[in-house]
């Protein structure tokens, strides 16, 4: 009787939704698998594209995993971890975003039967982490270094890596053309290979082959005032002045007050304003610069003043374009026109304003500090050019990584099959439940070649059987065999030059395992109701890893509110 009368403690406020235990874990796994199924078909050279239409009417066509994951606007708290790893893979190595989400989903799919059978998640997590460590070590062991090559050979190898990335993109038909362009663009940069130093400009019209690379800076003609047409649009050996100030008449501030005792004094105030602007313009001209660019506006008075003195000017230049001009020409951005010494001016051998499609472009080439490049992309539909830009971003990132980490692995699912075989052999030598879990991890890795076959319309079972047989050869000569997308069979993907930097696979294994372990470690979801008091719903949507019933959230005993 006393037990029945014991009061119940309410720690969470009314309306709080909690769900916990095995059912909650399986629900989270199902949510993640549903997300994976949405982008599964985008993998590989024959992958399909997704058309995402948002509430603002914007249409995006893409097969880039990170882009699709971002546009899906996933609200399920557990499935959001897949969005995070796709973004992580994109920012770290630039490619393999679909791969990493697919692997994470497959790890969870393989773990689900064990969870349903009552296995504790921590046992699975421990085995998965061991398997991931072994997978990374095996990948590094299989990696082939491309160091020690001369410049021409190295560029050829980098083009192979870029072409493999572009294979699965919308512009895969022009992969040779664009892979060379990407390698040339990255080769122009400093050793630190900053991504911001490569500009990509989109111009509608023409064909993809009309795209070109500028060994310097190119940007679209900015807003111009009267007098712009009289300015020269072509210079040889031009000095360049970069400014971060306005060159136009400045009216008085709204709260300024000027008291005049004589109407004639008003003219002196007007004259002072004009004298200030003319003084600024005169100092710009005396600096010897032939091209004046400013991040802020250059007004009609200044435009005409420069036109009369055969000087080109452009105002409201975008910040990133201005910084790239500074890097390419050696100019320093000035916030004042006083003391414009020759050292602050930049230099380029050739400046011109050129018509590209329906747009006018300002192009700087032959720069003294040529550490930047610009790719001008052409194409028909706007969505097509936007997807081409995303594809080139992946290729640029891959070439950057291949330069910094000069080791490649064969693609086409070859590395996944070899690591899978290695893990199966390892599992045979250990006792206990871990053997089952590592085997499940090894089986999950086969999802990459299987999906490549499915997306290309081939018989995945037949191809996987051939791959398993090749990779099981004791001599190890089949380690480089992967899916042949052209014939529906298998081929030595290293010999076929289907390469990817080893860092892509290493990061994919680590990130996918991390996401799977994170989802498996969550056994309770707590969702607070929306509170009318600010700061009162601090735990809304929070997930509590490793908490069971009464794990500090609610219990029976004294204190708190009684019911």
* Res 550: pLDDT: 39
Tokens of 539: 């735990």
* Res 18: pLDDT: 58
Cβ–Cβ under 8 Å, residues 199 and 171: no
* Res 370: pLDDT: 65
Round to whole Å and give the CA distance between 447 and 269: 77
Are 351 and 418 members of one domain? no
* Res 190: pLDDT: 72
* Res 436: pLDDT: 93
161 lies in a domain?
no
195 lies in a domain?
no
Are 240 and 354 members of one domain? yes
Among 321, 394, 416, 523, which one carries the catalytic annotation? 394
| CATH code of the domain in which 297 resides | 3.50.7.10
Are 140 and 75 members of one domain? yes
Are 485 and 362 members of one domain? no
pTM for the predicted model, two decimal places:
0.75
* Res 416: pLDDT: 92
* Res 421: pLDDT: 93
* Res 549: pLDDT: 40
In the residue annotation, 394 being an active-site residue is answered as yes
Are 363 and 433 members of one domain? no
* Res 534: pLDDT: 45
* Res 66: pLDDT: 84
In the residue annotation, 99 being an active-site residue is answered as no
Provide the sign of the torsion angle of the four alpha carbons 40, 42, 47, 48, taken in this order: positive
Q: Which residues, given as ranges, of the chain have pLDDT below 70?
A: 1-20, 148, 192, 250-256, 370, 529-563
Are 135 and 233 members of one domain? no
210 lies in a domain?
no
Three-state SS string over 241-284 comes to EEECCCECCCCCCCCCCCCCCCCCHHHHHHHHHHHHHHHHHHHH
**Residue 113 CB coordination number (10 Å):** 11
Are 339 and 224 members of one domain? yes
Backbone angles phi, psi at 204, to 5 degrees: -70, 145
Among 81, 98, 222, 513, which one carries the catalytic annotation? 98
113 lies in a domain?
yes
Are 359 and 418 members of one domain? no
Tokens of 188: 């122009």
Question: How many domains are contained in the chain?
Answer: 2
Among 64, 95, 492, 523, which one carries the catalytic annotation? 64
In the residue annotation, 321 being an active-site residue is answered as no
The DSSP bridge partners found for residue 204 are 379
What's the start-to-end Cα distance of the chain, in Å? 17
Provide the sign of the torsion angle of the four alpha carbons 179, 184, 185, 187, taken in this order: positive
* Res 562: pLDDT: 38
Are 427 and 337 members of one domain? no
The closest alpha carbon to 216, from 344, 292, 327, belongs to 327
- What range does the domain containing 242 cover? 216-251+272-369
* Res 515: pLDDT: 92
The closest alpha carbon to 165, from 106, 89, 83, 70, belongs to 89
* Res 174: pLDDT: 85
Summarize pLDDT for 120-161 with one digit per residue, the tens: 999 999 999 999 999 999 999 988 887 767 777 788 888 888
* Max intra-chain CA distance, the chain: 103
48 lies in a domain?
yes
Round to whole Å and give the CA distance between 170 and 50: 11
Summarize pLDDT for 66-82 with one digit per residue, the tens: 888 888 888 888 888 89
Are 220 and 346 members of one domain? yes
Are 338 and 240 members of one domain? yes
In the residue annotation, 207 being an active-site residue is answered as no
């Amino acid at each position: 009787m006393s037990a029945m009368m014991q009061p119940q403690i309410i720690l969470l406020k009314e309306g709080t939704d909690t769900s916990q235990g095995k059912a909650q874990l399986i629900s989270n796994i199902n949510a993640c698998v549903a997300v994976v199924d949405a982008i599964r078909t985008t993998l590989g050279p024959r992958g399909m594209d997704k058309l995402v239409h948002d509430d603002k009417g914007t249409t995006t066509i893409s097969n880039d995993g990170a882009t699709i994951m971002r546009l899906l606007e996933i609200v399920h708290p557990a499935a959001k971890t897949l969005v995070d790893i796709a973004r992580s893979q994109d920012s770290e190595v630039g490619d393999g975003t679909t791969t990493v989400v697919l692997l994470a989903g497959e790890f969870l799919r393989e773990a689900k039967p064990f969870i349903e059978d009552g296995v504790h998640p921590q046992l699975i997590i421990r085995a998965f982490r061991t398997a991931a460590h072994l997978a990374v070590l095996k990948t590094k062991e299989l990696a082939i270094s491309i160091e020690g090559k001369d410049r021409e050979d190295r560029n050829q190898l980098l083009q192979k890596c870029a072409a493999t990335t572009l294979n699965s993109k919308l512009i895969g038909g022009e992969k040779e053309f664009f892979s060379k362009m990407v390698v040339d663009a990255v080769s122009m940069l400093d050793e630190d290979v900053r991504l911001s130093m490569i500009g990509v400009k989109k111009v509608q019209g023409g064909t993809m082959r009309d795209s070109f690379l500028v060994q310097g800076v190119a940007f679209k003609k900015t807003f111009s005032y009267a007098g712009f047409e009289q300015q020269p649009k072509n210079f040889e050996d031009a000095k360049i002045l970069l400014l971060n100030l306005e060159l136009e008449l400045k009216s008085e501030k709204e709260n300024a007050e000027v008291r005049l005792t004589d109407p004639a004094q008003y003219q002196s105030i007007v004259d002072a304003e004009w004298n200030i602007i003319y003084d600024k313009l005169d100092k710009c001209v005396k600096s010897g610069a032939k091209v004046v660019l400013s991040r802020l506006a250059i007004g009609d008075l200044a435009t005409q003043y420069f036109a009369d003195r055969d000087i080109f000017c452009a105002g409201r230049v975008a910040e990133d374009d201005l910084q790239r001009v500074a890097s390419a020409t050696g100019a320093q951005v000035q916030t004042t026109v006083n003391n414009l010494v020759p050292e602050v001016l930049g230099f380029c051998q050739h400046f011109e304003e050129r018509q590209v499609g329906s747009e006018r472009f300002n192009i700087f080439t032959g720069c003294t500090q040529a550490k930047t490049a610009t790719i001008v992309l052409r194409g028909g539909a706007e969505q097509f050019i936007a997807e081409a830009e995303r594809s080139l971003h992946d290729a640029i990132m891959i070439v950057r990584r291949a330069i910094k980490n000069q080791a490649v692995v064969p693609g086409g699912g070859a590395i996944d099959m070899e690591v899978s075989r290695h893990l199966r052999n390892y599992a045979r030598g250990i006792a206990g439940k871990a053997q089952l879990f590592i085997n499940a991890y090894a089986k999950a890795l086969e999802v990459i070649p299987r999906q490549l076959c499915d997306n290309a319309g081939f018989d995945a079972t037949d191809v996987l059987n051939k791959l398993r047989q090749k990779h099981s050869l004791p001599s190890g000569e089949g380690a480089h065999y992967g899916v042949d997308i052209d014939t529906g069979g298998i081929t030595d993907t290293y010999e076929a030059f289907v390469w990817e930097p080893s860092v892509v696979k290493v990061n994919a294994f680590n990130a996918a395992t991390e996401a799977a372990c994170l989802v498996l470690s969550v056994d309770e979801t707590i969702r607070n109701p929306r509170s009318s008091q600010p700061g009162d719903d601090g735990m809304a949507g929070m997930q509590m890893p490793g908490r069971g019933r009464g794990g500090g959230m609610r219990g029976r005993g004294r204190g708190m509110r009684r019911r």
